[in-house]
Amino acid sequence: MRPLVLIPLAVALAACAPSNPPPASPPAATAVAPAPASAAALDAQALAAAHWRLTGAVDAAGRRIDALFPGPDQRLQLDFADDRLSVSGGCNRMTGPYALVGERFEVGALVRTKKFCGGGALMAADEAIGARLAGAGSLVRGEGDTLVLTTAGGDRLTFSGDPTAAARHGGEGERVFLEVAPQRVPCPHAMIPDHRCLHVRELGYDANGLRRGEGEWRFLYQEIEGYTHTPGVRNVLRVDRFDVADPPADGSSVAWVLDMVVESETVSP
């Protein structure tokens, strides 16, 4: 059995409860090129309703910024919530305060995790996006569901929006911890012969991150959005559970969406 990979439960549990961290001081004002007058203004609610994935980036001379695209299957992503911005898709996750007044977009100091990634491209992407988010710029809605960020240096970054689970399901879900067994198990299914389900149970924790109980093992017939199960790996997941309005006759009335993997363990057969 290999060692556990853990994220401290106190951290995972703290993120379940609302918090009001003191606002960080925004960076000093920097001259910003005006955005096109036809661009639509944004607000915090519109930003928080989608995951924003980078689809294009050019510098002031129109040249593609290759460092922002670490690989064909790797896309940098921005998420907005509670006046804070988070960046994922590179090597490390970054987060920091932001302010949007009209089209003026300012990002405060970003903090990041300390993971090391081999190969260099992912870490270079972290540096490239961090440098372009630092300070002030303009942020407007582009054509369709896109954002256009123009930096003080004239770089132009385009992001495409995918609705968040909360936006798709009409409200915030219920935060739940699920333990997923290492192997799928046979489960009866009216329409799919020889179906194999995830084997899961709910876990409970107290405010100090200590386990205070667990539910019964049961079949989970549908997949967990954002989670890919690896046979032989036991996981503890923090997920959001949503009620599905008007589910299809052969569908579930509940949707499960991964928030984070709290614990992973490779289990020998």
- Residues contacting 15, CB < 8 A, separation 6+: 238, 260
Rounded to an integer, what is the distance from CA 112 to the centroid of its chain? 14
Give me the CATH code for the 50-163 domain, please: 2.40.128.270
Q: Tokens standing for 185?
A: 């198990």
- Listed in order, strand segments (DSSP E) in 19-122 are 50-58, 77-81, 84-88, 94-101, 104-107, 111-112
Interval 193-197 mean pLDDT? 91
All CATH 2.40.128.270 domain ranges of the chain, comma separated, are: 50-163
Lowest mean pLDDT of 27-41, 50-64, 135-149, 207-221, name the range: 27-41
pLDDT of residue 174: 92
Lowest mean pLDDT of 39-43, 75-79, 134-138, 215-219, name the range: 39-43
Interval 254-258 mean pLDDT? 91
Residue 223 scores a pLDDT above 90 = yes
- Give CA–CA dist 235/4, Å, rounded: 10
pLDDT of residue 245: 80
- Give CA–CA dist 52/168, Å, rounded: 15
Contact indicator for 187, 196 with CB cutoff of 8 Å? yes
pLDDT bucket at 31, cuts 50 / 70 / 90: very low
Interval 49-63 mean pLDDT? 96
In the chain, the percentage of residues whose pLDDT exceeds 90 is 55
pLDDT bucket at 41, cuts 50 / 70 / 90: low
In the chain, the percentage of residues whose pLDDT exceeds 70 is 84
Q: Tokens standing for 81?
A: 């919530």
